[in-house]
Amino acid sequence: MEGLVSCSALRLAPDHWRGWDIICSEGTGGSVLAGGRGRLWMDRVKDEVLVQRVASGDERAFSGLYDRYAGLVYGTGLRYLGDRGTAEELVQDVFTSVWKSAGGFDPARASFATWVYRITRNRATDLIRRRKARVRTVEGEPLFEPGETDPSGDLSRNFDVAAALSRLTPVHREVLVLAYFHGFSQREISDRTATPLGTVKSRTTAALRALRETMGFDEDRFSADE
């Protein structure tokens, strides 16, 4: 039994996979979605695969899902709950719930993005109720009230797009994240990634095309589920 390890990679020490960047492996910046860190080992691994691993106690898979959705959950908290402290509480509540409930997730009923969206919406509603105060967005718009769903569907759609983004190849995701989440111009992306400008432009086109195709697939499937 030489070399026996009694457990799988699920239980490697956390420091084993940290400190590097999901989007720009040459240190040119991190994913806004991920809060600056990432785990390339699970690139293109579907959310539904990761959540199954979370159900068996895999913290790496959990971190992978955190990378993909924490920025959106936090952004949702800021927008709908109004302050950073409560937004952080929302992130903690949502991801604690993901960890605890992963075993009950059924991919046949809904995508992970839809599932985490529902958790986010419900937890946000709970936080609003807990505070017993009418909360408005930073723009002064009224929030969805307790019991009211995301009326415009914007939030739900954002979760689906985040899921689609996570399924792109690293180079496609990189060019879109740098453009949309870091606000870099095509020229700046070219400089930062040491890629010819023409290639950046054609890659951006290909990445948007791939995203559209992935979104199209998801939208078809989700509507069929419903």
Partner 1 sequence: MSEHPDTRDLLGPYVMGTLEPYENREVEDHLQGCASCREEAQDLRLAHERLADLAYGTTAPPEDLEARVLAGIPRRRAGRRVPSWVAAVAAAFCVLAVITAFNLLEDQAAATLNPTGRAPDAGGEVSLRGTGENTELRLEAWGLPPCKSEQYYELWLVEGDERVSAGTFTVGESGRVDVTLNAPNFAASYPRVGVTAEYDKDPRASDAKMLSGELHDL
Q: Using CB under 8 A, which residues numbered 70 to 89 contact partner 1?
A: 70-76, 78-79, 84, 87-88
Nearer to partner 1, 31 or 125 (CB): 31
Say whether 53 sits in a helix, a strand or coil: helix
CB of 136 to partner 1, least distance (A): 17
Nearest 10 degrees: Cα torsion 35, 22, 55, 113: 70
Number of residues that bind partner 1 (CB under 8 A): 89
Spatial CA neighbour of 51 closest among 14, 106, 3: 106
Query: Following DSSP, what letter does each residue of 50-98 receive, concatenated?
Result: HHHHHHTT-HHHHHHHHHHHHHHHHHHHHHHH-SHHHHHHHHHHHHHHH
Q: Which of 23, 24, 91, 113 binds partner 1 (CB under 8 A)?
A: 91
Q: Which of 21, 24, 53, 82 binds partner 1 (CB under 8 A)?
A: 53
CA distance 59 to 62: 5
Window of 94-102, 112-120, 131-139, 142-150 that interacts with partner 1 by CB under 8 A: 94-102
Structure token pair of residue 216: 């199209």
Nearer to partner 1, 59 or 191 (CB): 59
CA distance 43 to 68: 11
CA distance 144 to 121: 9
Q: Which of 23, 24, 42, 119 binds partner 1 (CB under 8 A)?
A: 42
Nearer to partner 1, 52 or 122 (CB): 52
Q: Does 140 bind partner 1 (CB under 8 A)?
A: no
Q: Does 137 bind partner 1 (CB under 8 A)?
A: no
Amino acid at 159: F
Q: Does 10 bind partner 1 (CB under 8 A)?
A: yes
Q: Does 17 bind partner 1 (CB under 8 A)?
A: yes
Q: Which of 129, 136, 209, 221 binds partner 1 (CB under 8 A)?
A: 209
CA distance 69 to 95: 9
CB of 145 to partner 1, least distance (A): 19
Q: Does 202 bind partner 1 (CB under 8 A)?
A: yes
Count of other CB atoms within 10 angstroms of residue 194: 8
Q: Does 212 bind partner 1 (CB under 8 A)?
A: yes
CA distance 81 to 88: 10
Q: Please check whether residue 80 is in contact with residue 143, taking contact to mean a CB–CB distance below 8 angstroms.
A: yes
> x/- contact string, 96-125, with partner 1 (CB under 8 A)?
x--xx-------------------------
